[in-house]
Structure 1
Amino acid sequence: MSDAAPAEPSADAATGEEGNEALGAETDEEMLGTPGPPISRRAPYMIGLLGGLGLLTAWALGNIVMAISGVIVQVVVALFIAAGINPMVVFLERRGMKRPYAVLTVIVIVLAALALFVVALVPVISDQVGKISDNVPEWLDKLEHNRRIQDLDNEYHVLDKIKDFVTGGDFVSSLFGGVLGVGLAVLGLLANAFVITVLTLYFIASYEKTKKALYSLAPASRRDRVTKLGERIFDGIGGYVSGAFIVACCAGLSSLVFLFVVGMGQYAVALAFVVMLTDVIPMIGATIGAVIVCAICFATDVKTGIIAIIFYIAYQQIENYVIYPRVMSKSVDVPGVVTVIAALVGASLLGVVGALLAIPTAAAILMLIREVLVRAQDER
């Protein structure tokens, strides 16, 4: 039996197979139809479909942002506070302390200050606020002896309404919508304060990592410039927050000393605390605190009220032209008109929180406009 090589398929067989395949393809085309050209992305249908999907996506994202707006505000506030605390960490680092130990020291100081405020100042402030509320009817009786006040009261009965409102015992409830509303408001305030405190501690502990993570979102070719601009923005925000705290502490301490000197020691701590809180609010905060203190001083004694007006007029000049410029000279550089506009816009958007964050935000925007937009226009 001889070995024979396997026979190769003949050309006729190959031609037959190709013909069968072509016949099968023709049969499929006859059954399913000839495929048409792909749908153009510029077709009206595709434009409408993609546009509708884009609108739905934007609407969904907008609803999500609105739903978590409270959390976003808490995160932004905590980041601003962390930027304000960071100069303390940098100060300790420059004294030879390693950053982890400097951060731990600052965190301990912040927690100790909060604990000291809760344990020592809150009872005193609440007691003095109670005394102020108890003395409101007496102060209103003194105001009734003023002739102009008497004329207004005879026509509109303003003092009687105020006295009934304060002595009725339900004026606080009416402000917040009942006893349950007061409790919910207090719990909400405490919860927000706790969340902001925890977020602030996390941010200050991972401050450098957080900044690097934000800078890494920029393209590698522009990351160096973005980092330098970001560092300047964070330094400006930190300087403004810490500077505002220093200015507010100066106002509170000066008010505390003044009130003890003029014989208002029983209300000194509460009123000084009010002045310190209101002084943080841009533009009108210092005036609000001064008006509150002067009104209570006037109700107690006319001479004390006049002295209080003179003191706060003089102090505000010192604060505006001496304390504030020196403290804020290296943090923010915002023209007066921009400061007013930014504070008004911030207050209309987020209330007091928006007014507090408006000035450093405006300073950051102005810096970006000068360094990016104006420089790009000059190079053209």
Structure 2
Amino acid sequence: MPPGHFGEHGRFGEPGRPLRRNPFLIGFTGALGVLLAYTAFLAVRNAASILVLVFTGLFLAIGLNPAVVRLRAWGLPHALAVATVALTVVLLLCGGLFALVPPIVTQSGQFIDQLPAYLEELRRNETINHLVERYHLMERVESAANAQTIGQALGGVFGGARFIFGTIFNVLTVLVLTIYFMSAFDRMKDLAYALVPASRRDRVRLIGDEILTKVGAYMVGALFIAVLAGVSAFVFSVVVGLAYPFALAVVVAVCDLIPQIGATLGAVIVSLVGFASDIQVGIACVVFFIVYQQVENYLIYPKIMRRSVKVNDVAAIVAALMGVALFGVIGALVAIPAVAAVQLILREVVLPRQQQR
């Protein structure tokens, strides 16, 4: 055979016969597949906390992308539009911390300053003294104040500090990931569509863009409803004379972002603060939030959310409950956009195929 000529079978000769499908080979291949699947499961489980942060950052980037697109339509460069949206988010976070941290520090300091007076009042109370002597409470306190108890208390303090620093780290990580995802959003979307076969790429692009639009519409609508709830709570708190009205408004707005249960949670917190100050104020808080939630559920929410996202009420409730059970607050936040995406895929892909069979 002349040099450079490899024959009809190529450079490396004729391929051999395929391996026989003997039981050993089948069993080995199956075991290898099970091992790889279990390895993938362990990898996902060990990286679950990081994956949640990545998913949260991606979800926020999808929700904030319409703002970036709007700023680019006004003539801003892409980098400047992303920086403007990111700076706005940072300012909102700083405003929320500025509203929440000072009241907590002030109330804690006031409680520590008044603690000796509280203890003195308890010591002078005859009923308290009788109960202390009858049940030997002082002896139990002294016996409980040993080295092991002190160590557990210090462990709780260090655990609380670790929780605070962990929360700060998670928030900063999500913020950085959101900025990166917003800056590379168009490239990521084009890459995802490029992985689809060319014959289906146009249809997948249309459906995908519609899903992303619904997610963005949900985020904008949820933020608007939350801000409206916070403003209403602020005005009400100022009228009835609640302490730290801005902090309470921030709590109500943040809680209102959680579907189905968030508004009730914020109402309970503000009502407890109202009852702590005065019974009549607490009753007024309960009445106000009952009336406001009816207005929000039947007037504000339908006009803002259902026209843009168009999610079935029963499906939204079930999805929110399942999201809370599976992924906590993050699951509740993404439940309604996920249902909107599933409904769109069912309507545009699954049902037409079923009709053609």
Question: When the two structures are superposed, what TM-score results if normalisation uses the length of structure 2?
Answer: 0.79
How many aligned positions are there? 310
Q: In 2 relative to 1, CA 302–121 (structure 1 residues): closer, same or farther, beyond 3 Å?
A: closer
Structure 1 partner of 2:4:
none
- Residue of 93, 117, 120 corresponding to 1:114: 93
Within a 5 Å distance, the mapping from 1:106-255 to structure 2 comes to: 106-118=85-97, 120-127=98-105, 130=108, 178-255=156-233
- Residue of 280, 285, 291 corresponding to 2:257: 280
1:122 Cα deviation from its structure 2 partner: 4.2
Structure 1 partner of 2:238:
260
1:121 Cα deviation from its structure 2 partner: 2.5
Structure 1 partner of 2:355:
378
Q: In 2 relative to 1, CA 175–360 (structure 1 residues): closer, same or farther, beyond 3 Å?
A: farther
CA distance in 2, matches of 1:183, 1:362: 37
Q: Is the contact between residue 100 and residue 247 of structure 2 (CA under 8 Å) also seen in structure 1?
A: no
RMSD: 2.9
Mapped pair 1:331 → 2:311? no
Q: Is the contact between residue 65 and residue 182 of structure 2 (CA under 8 Å) also seen in structure 1?
A: yes
Q: Is the contact between residue 324 and residue 332 of structure 2 (CA under 8 Å) also seen in structure 1?
A: yes
Cα distance per residue 1:44-87 (max 9 Å; x no partner): 22221111111111111111111111111111110111112112
Q: In 2 relative to 1, CA 303–227 (structure 1 residues): closer, same or farther, beyond 3 Å?
A: same
Q: Which moved more, 1:301-310 or 1:228-237?
A: 301-310
Q: In 2 relative to 1, CA 303–134 (structure 1 residues): closer, same or farther, beyond 3 Å?
A: farther
Structure 1 stretches lacking a partner, 5+ long: 1-35, 138-163, 165-172
Question: Secondary structure at the residue paired with 1:282?
Answer: coil
1:129 Cα deviation from its structure 2 partner: 5.2
Question: When the two structures are superposed, what TM-score results if normalisation uses the length of structure 1?
Answer: 0.74
1:127 Cα deviation from its structure 2 partner: 3.7
- Residue of 37, 40, 47 corresponding to 1:61: 40
Q: Is the contact between residue 214 and residue 337 of structure 2 (CA under 8 Å) also seen in structure 1?
A: yes
1:114 Cα deviation from its structure 2 partner: 3.2
Q: In 2 relative to 1, CA 226–242 (structure 1 residues): closer, same or farther, beyond 3 Å?
A: same
Q: Which amino acid aligns with 1:84?
A: G
Cα distance per residue 1:79-118 (max 9 Å; x no partner): 1111121121222233343433322322232233334444
Question: Secondary structure at the residue paired with 2:260?
Answer: coil
Question: Secondary structure at the residue paired with 2:284?
Answer: helix
Give identity over the alignment, percent: 41
Structure 2 stretches lacking a partner, 5+ long: 1-15, 116-140, 142-150
